[in-house]
Structure 1
Amino acid sequence: MGKAGDVVFGRSKRLIGLDIGTNSVKVLQLKELSRGYQLVNLGIEQLPPEVIVDGAIMDAAIVVDAIQKVIRSQKIKTKEVAISVSGSSVIVKKIPLPRMSEQELEESIQWEAEQYIPFDIEDVNIDFEILNPMGSKDSAEMDVVLVAVKKDKVNDYASLATQAGLEPAVIDVDGFALSNQYEKNYGIDPNEVIALIDIGAGVMNINVIQNGIHGLYRDIPIGGNQYTDAIQKDMNVSYDQAEGLKMGETIEGISPQEVQDIINSVNESVAMEIQRSFDYFKATSSNERIDRIVLTGGCSKVKGLPEFLMDKLGITVERGNPFRNIVYNEKQFDPNLIANVSPMCAVVVGLAMRKVGDR
């Protein structure tokens, strides 16, 4: 489901995934094979701190320049891109509605959605997916995943692409791109309840998949920058040094245990937010279990985080591999580089797997 108001301009050949994150711009291009995909292009351009804060674009010119730079460096000719948004401007909810056809819902969704959305209905793009549309016709109700994104957020991110000379063909939601890449890399077991958790620099996406559908979606403003800021402040080191310490590097004169204690204090906050989300899921769902967590995002590389979460939450935690079902030419792409950037590419891989008209 690549909804959030898919925006389509003209016809598409093959889409480029463009992930505009808090700390970096990532572009990725795939070629679909009979089984799986082949990596055609991958580029990452770092953004300076404070250019994007809590999903708000503070300096569009710098972001546009970064997009153009990475497109040029990869010699990408395709103009049409899939982009995504996340954060407090995105609302995803599973709601019960009176049973009706898709066309009837299309006509009434604005009115039906109003009570579930904390924004003025005129200020949002709305989309939906009927869950189990072939379900029991005797039931008076049906479940619908409602997606609402503030128009100014969509316009801001689409504008970055157009200013960079690109055409936003699909506008997705981070969490749906995440589940898209997971499904195409691993498949979905309908008997399993999986929490896909992507922790980037500024936002943590939590997407619980139950019976192959979205059971819970949350974007939480916590991520790798909290670790970096805490280490920088408490250890009195530079931003770059704090970034290294966060990932397990050592600096003479700085106690690794002190650094780990700082990391664990942020780990506590991350674990608490995940637990709150799981508690809400269990309270509002017929299912009281989550079988495992699949962790991605640059923050998944923080020293000891998967083990910490496993211990705190009592749930198996594994690192996801967005390139699991993607082959690549090792002369073109260094396997060590792919292994290093893989955790932070889950969203951009999911975007690159999109096609125009996806729902």
Structure 2
Amino acid sequence: MSPLKAPERVVGIDFGTSSVRGVEVTTHPKKGPQVRRFARIALPSGAVEDGEVMEPNTVGDALKRLWEKGSFSTNKVALGVGNQRVLVRPFTVDDQPASRVREALPALVEEILPFRSEDALIDFYPIERHPNDAGRVNGLVVAAAKHAIDEAVRAIRIAKLRTHRVDLIPFALSRVHLWGEYSNGTIALIYQAPSSTTVLIATNRVPRFVRIIPAGDEDVTAHMEQVLGLGHEELTAELATRPRAQDPSASTRLWGSQRTDRQSSPRHRRLLGQQHRTEDRHSSAVRPKYALARRLRAIRRTLRRHHKDRPPDRGFGLHDTISAEEMRIAAPSAAIGLAMGGESWL
């Protein structure tokens, strides 16, 4: 998962509710990974919902325009998945070739899947050999509904592009954000998007626990609009004029999340509670060696104090032709991580 390895030339694609983002990463011999090309194209309402492509023809047309705008040098696409139709759970399997593990997975995980195993794409991400059984391997089982991926792949084909690999968005985010002081020890990374919140716990940059919560910025916004009796534009204007010092409970996320300051609300507090319970569940499930000693520090920095309005200078940069302000507004962390590479899990 090292970002210093020269990534194969692909374009990371992140489907959002209102736009699709594409990023191409190159590797400079001295400066390391660098965002070389970037583009964003708006999507009409309903074309993509909760990260899932609903109208392949519409999205395919948008991808054609994205390639024209971004002048990407390849037609290879790294597709990311990571919504409530994706399940990631700690799992242990027999130590055997990856192909045999994949063959056995549907029967092994059928009881924990929220959908039928025959309707899912399933893979296993190995982490370490079981401490008490040399013949077993601990890792993460990843399962996604086939339909959700098939529609995205169909849109890519319509645009005359090629799906080179399918990657898990939480893994892509970890490549972008787990650097510097966040690269060592056990760290909780929280990424809040419009309709979902991703909680990833990693030890020394190796993902060990992932949970995707089906609630995000839009849920908090909708609740506040209802409670305050304000329209979306009125609420945005009100919060934009409120000094941060007057709103200590407002949440800020790592660069790349779709960030809007919010006042605290019961629904927001429930969302934070889900995040904390997720980490508590992980803390009780792993060996003491991996206890989350830095958990509260990571959570507070991520949700309250870690305020960044620019790309992180942790191992990769922007080409001179890329606007840092445009990148900040576009929030392309997932697309960058997908373009940086990694093993395809499906």
Q: Does 1:170 align with 2:171?
A: no
**Structure 1 regions of 5+ residues with no counterpart?**
3-11, 296-304, 311-315
Q: Please, which of 326, 341, 348 is the counterpart of residue 316 of structure 2?
A: 326
1:82/1:169 contact within 8 Å kept: yes
Q: Which residue is equivalent to 2:294?
A: 291
Count of equivalent residues? 323
* Residues 232/52 of structure 1: CA separation in 2 closer, same or farther (3 Å cut): farther
Q: TM-score w.r.t. structure 2 length?
A: 0.78
Q: Which residue is equivalent to 1:214?
A: 207
- 1:75, CA displacement in angstroms? 2.4
Q: Please, which of 34, 44, 50 is the counterpart of residue 40 of structure 2?
A: 44
Matched AA of 2:84: S
CA–CA distance in structure 2, aligned partners of residues 350 and 88 of structure 1: 20
What are the within-5 Å matches in structure 2 for residues 97-246 of structure 1? 97-102=93-98, 104-133=100-129, 139-183=134-178, 185-186=179-180, 189-190=183-184, 192-245=185-238
CA–CA distance in structure 1, aligned partners of residues 270 and 61 of structure 2: 34
* Residues 136/59 of structure 1: CA separation in 2 closer, same or farther (3 Å cut): closer
Q: Which residue is equivalent to 1:20?
A: 15
CA–CA distance in structure 2, aligned partners of residues 294 and 74 of structure 1: 39
- 1:19, CA displacement in angstroms? 0.4
CA–CA distance in structure 1, aligned partners of residues 229 and 326 of structure 2: 30
Q: Could you say what the CA RMSD is over the residues aligned between the two structures, in angstroms?
A: 3.6
2:56/2:152 contact within 8 Å kept: no
Matched AA of 2:292: R
Matched AA of 2:221: T
CA–CA distance in structure 1, aligned partners of residues 279 and 146 of structure 2: 29
CA–CA distance in structure 1, aligned partners of residues 145 and 114 of structure 2: 11
* Residues 219/249 of structure 1: CA separation in 2 closer, same or farther (3 Å cut): same
Q: Which residue is equivalent to 1:274?
A: 275
1:26/1:44 contact within 8 Å kept: yes
1:36-55 residue CA offsets vs partner (Å, 9 max, x unmatched): 21221112233344443334
- 1:156, CA displacement in angstroms? 1.4
* Residues 53/264 of structure 1: CA separation in 2 closer, same or farther (3 Å cut): same
**Structure 2 regions of 5+ residues with no counterpart?**
251-260
Q: Does 1:70 align with 2:66?
A: yes
CA–CA distance in structure 1, aligned partners of residues 214 and 345 of structure 2: 28
1:16/1:28 contact within 8 Å kept: yes
Matched AA of 2:117: I
CA–CA distance in structure 2, aligned partners of residues 280 and 126 of structure 1: 23
| Percent of pairs with identical residues | 21
- 1:232, CA displacement in angstroms? 3.8
2:36/2:322 contact within 8 Å kept: no
Q: Which residue is equivalent to 1:249?
A: 240
Q: Which residue is equivalent to 1:345?
A: 332
CA–CA distance in structure 2, aligned partners of residues 228 and 99 of structure 1: 46
1:222-243 residue CA offsets vs partner (Å, 9 max, x unmatched): 1121233234444454434444
Q: Which residue is equivalent to 2:256?
A: none
1:125/1:151 contact within 8 Å kept: yes
CA–CA distance in structure 2, aligned partners of residues 294 and 89 of structure 1: 30
Matched AA of 1:209: A
- 1:268, CA displacement in angstroms? 1.3
* Residues 279/294 of structure 1: CA separation in 2 closer, same or farther (3 Å cut): closer
CA–CA distance in structure 2, aligned partners of residues 13 and 307 of structure 1: 33
CA–CA distance in structure 2, aligned partners of residues 108 and 308 of structure 1: 38
* Residues 140/333 of structure 1: CA separation in 2 closer, same or farther (3 Å cut): closer
* Residues 107/113 of structure 1: CA separation in 2 closer, same or farther (3 Å cut): same
CA–CA distance in structure 2, aligned partners of residues 50 and 357 of structure 1: 28
CA–CA distance in structure 2, aligned partners of residues 140 and 308 of structure 1: 38
Q: TM-score w.r.t. structure 1 length?
A: 0.76
1:83-142 residue CA offsets vs partner (Å, 9 max, x unmatched): 111222211111123444545424433333334323222111111122225x76963532
Q: Secondary structure at the match of 1:348?
A: helix
Matched AA of 1:210: T
